[in-house]
Structure 1
Amino acid sequence: MRRPVRVLLLLLIVAAVVGLGTVWRFWWAEGPLARPATVTIADGSTIITASRQLERAGAIRSADWFRRLATRLGAHDPIKAGEFELPAHASASRILDILQHGQPVRRLINVPEGMPSVLVAEKLAAEPLLAGPVTVPAEGSVLPDSYSFERGEARAAVLKRMQAAMDKELAALWAKRRPDTVVKTPREAIILASVVEKETGVAAERPMVAAVYANRLRLGMPLQADPTVIYPITRGKPLGRRIRVSELRAKNGYNTYAEPGLPAGPIANPGRDSIAAVLAPADSKALYFVANGKGGHVFADTLAEHNANVAKWYAIRRSRGEM
């Protein structure tokens, strides 16, 4: 073999080795991330915009090499939008696979059933990964549920989704209401559902509690719901003490001991089950209920039955040393 040919062949081998080494370094080798990190890919991002973002974040060595090798060696699936977790020292090929086929990070904020709006606003304000101010929403306008959000998302945007969810759920439940339901508007349904929500934490009891209040409303009896007395004092936060006699007599639009009918507005954000219970309560003539000592309640049609149930409850409390 002539010398020039041997030199050319050697140069080609060296070039191939160098090229393969370069590809290995920028595609399959461990990446520069010293520790796990997250990257948020905006909706509509391309390989070009994502590669620049990854380079700025220190996740890849070169945006240019990432783009070239992704189009030649990577899958041709589109990259997803969302926040993704990148492992420490992830290779460029692994990062592309995560952006194309991985699951975005799901961050959730939970609104429990019966949470008042002042606490919803406080919960949103306390989430450090959200941004911007938030105002206290109208009581009863938020649907209790778990809501996903992205790092840096506006608190007001998350709250808007919570309220849109309530509007949608209320419309669906209202369309299925019983024709004889005691509430005449969706707002009345939310008001009464909020009272039901605060009166029992036992899901199976909600239709019965709703029936008691529906029966009372039809007869013109006051609802006499303790949570409606507490709401004007704390805006739904725990009272932390027993209700005073003066508070039971206060006329403020909410106190259902002092005034008949529904309170002036919701006293919490009711969940789906409580709204459904108000729109389709149990078939019952019950007018009274009292705690049964087991976390639930016992119901009665007459005052005499109710007084007997109350006496049993007092006996339970005395045996516990609570009276």
Structure 2
Amino acid sequence: MSRDAPASSAPAGRIGVLLVNLGTPDALGYWPVRRYLREFLSDRRVVNTSRLVWWPVLNLIILSTRPQRSSEAYATIWNRELDESPLKTVTRSQAEKLARLATEGAFGDETILVDWAMRYANPPIREGLERLRAAGCGRVLIVPLYPQYAGATTESVADKVAESLRKMRWRPELRSVPPYYADPVYVEALAQSTREHLAALPFEPEVLLLSFHGIPKSYVEAGDPYYAHCLETGRLLREALDLSEERCPITFQSRFGRTEWIRPYTDETVKALAAKGVKRLAVATPGFSVDCLETISEIGIENRDYFLEHGGEAFAQVPCLNDSALGMKVVRHIVAGALDGWTPAR
């Protein structure tokens, strides 16, 4: 029998749902972080530079110096109890909660199987697909947990799914959740969560900054709709919160390298707001479905320090939706919409 033959005799009629997030190192330390960064930064969707130029830069410079710094940053947010990053902890929890909802009939079909994977590192997408195949899933819904489409995120997941299925010699009926950057349920969940967290603060922010992950400007110029999706999410959230553009600006964080990225930059904006007299600032990150290094450390620690060092007095990071009741409402909603026609109407 071929090693790629189905591992289960179960009928291929079940529906599999695979939640996919970006990824995280398997452990702290130079080598685990180096392995993660090497896979991540070797993806042509992430770094679209000539390999002749990029390979020596990546392997001889970046992977020699950056892993230790990144490991130190991960150490500030690490889930010590489970020995993993919050991204892995929360994504697993989202899958477990969605699985319970499925068995309770939330989608009209109690045979739906829910699993989870990471685009980079572990658990890999192929293993998630292997488990769904072994369980008899003939239909598979891929759920990239990125509200806004970007080639470096959503499309990279699609690439990996296609590559995995080719190697598995398996072709289930396949669907993927579309970008949900303007979905009313998602926007209202963001608005309600933001209101609740701001109301619980010991101060009233003068400005609520909406920070999205950045991408190189050249990607947008080449046609990537990510920038437009972020602006639309920000506009809708601002309207839901009844805030002006001045009180609720949109910025972009996490730039890497010397090339120009989409602007305005979060760190520069945070410093400028403090310098011009803003004393109380909150930052929300509506493009992230789960809190991670970029939200907890980059926003909650680095940018907080920038704000305080430049004259600010009070700073707050608004948590992502994560696996909260509101977060699971969004996940359930987008999955239910994508399953339309595969499951009974509800």
Report 1 or 2 for greater relative contact order, CA contacts < 8 Å, sequence distance ≥ 6: 2
Is the shorter-chain TM-score for this pair beyond 0.5, marking a shared fold? Answer: no
Query: Could you say which structure has the higher strand fraction?
Result: 2
The TM-score with structure 1 as length reference comes to 0.25
* TM-score, normalised with respect to structure 2: 0.24
